[in-house]
């Protein structure tokens, strides 16, 4: 067996081509071959194309005005929700935040205003209403002769103060103090309804 001469040795494998110089590439780079994983034909050459599409749309209207209108005007806040959700739909944005804001604020506002009505407004109204009834009762008992007959003398300067709350029949007990002609004071208990109809009480 003979050996091959040195000049007849197998040629060395070709070296891979060096990467192209970026300075010599065309603007925008080289398009990958069709079918390769790097080819994104028909799509934006970005990582998240949907975000690029969304960034071109106008900013959605704020949902905070819906909260303000609904809180102070209750169901009339639906107008603000409809207008802003319609504008968001034209902009290609979500419509649900406006209706969520309307629904949550409607329930929360109703609870707040109901609590305010029963804990503040109603007691204040009842206080002034009872004060007006007390003044009307003082005028009524002064012109009625039953008090003078009971005291046995002319009475003046009636001052009535409620005692306790009204019962189921709408009657309330008052203690009324009068000044006699000799300057002394006398007091009687009366029961009166909301129409200032009264009777002497024990």
Note the pLDDT tens digit of each residue in 107-165.
Answer: 999 999 999 999 999 999 988 999 999 999 988 888 888 888 877 888 888 899 998 88
Tally of domains in the chain: 2
pLDDT of residue 63: 94
Q: Are residues 127 and 153 in the same domain?
A: no
Half-sphere exposure of 168 (CA within 13 A, CB side): 0
DSSP assigned state of 29: -
Shared domain for 92 and 128, answered yes or no, is yes
Q: Write the pLDDT tens digit of every residue in 58-88.
A: 888 999 999 999 999 999 999 999 999 999 9
Rg (CA), the chain: 46
130 lies in the same domain as 177: no
Domain span at 104: 58-135
Residues 69 and 125 both lie in one domain:
yes
163/188 Cα distance (integer angstroms): 12
pLDDT of residue 189 exceeding 80: yes
Tell me, yes or no, whether 72 lies in a domain.
Answer: yes
Q: Are residues 63 and 99 in the same domain?
A: yes
């Amino acid at each position: 067996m003979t050996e091959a001469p040195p000049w007849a040795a197998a040629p060395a494998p070709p070296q891979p081509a060096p990467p192209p110089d970026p300075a010599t590439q065309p603007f925008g780079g080289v398009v990958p071959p069709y079918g390769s994983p790097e080819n994104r034909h028909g799509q934006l050459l970005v990582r998240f194309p949907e975000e690029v599409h969304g960034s071109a749309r106008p900013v959605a209207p704020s949902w905070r005005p819906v909260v303000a209108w609904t809180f102070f005007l209750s169901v009339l806040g639906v107008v603000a929700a409809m207008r802003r959700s319609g504008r968001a739909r034209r902009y290609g944005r979500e419509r649900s935040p406006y209706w969520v804001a309307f629904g949550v604020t409607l329930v929360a506002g109703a609870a707040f205003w109901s609590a305010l009505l029963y804990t503040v407004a109603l007691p204040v109204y009842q206080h002034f209403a009872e004060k007006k009834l007390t003044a009307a009762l003082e005028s009524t008992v002064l012109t009625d002769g039953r008090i003078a007959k009971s005291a046995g003398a002319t009475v003046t300067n009636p001052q009535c103060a409620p005692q306790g709350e009204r019962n189921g029949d709408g009657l309330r007990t008052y203690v009324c103090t009068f000044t006699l002609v000799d300057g002394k004071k006398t007091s009687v208990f009366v029961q009166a309804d909301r129409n200032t109809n009264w009777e002497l009480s024990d």
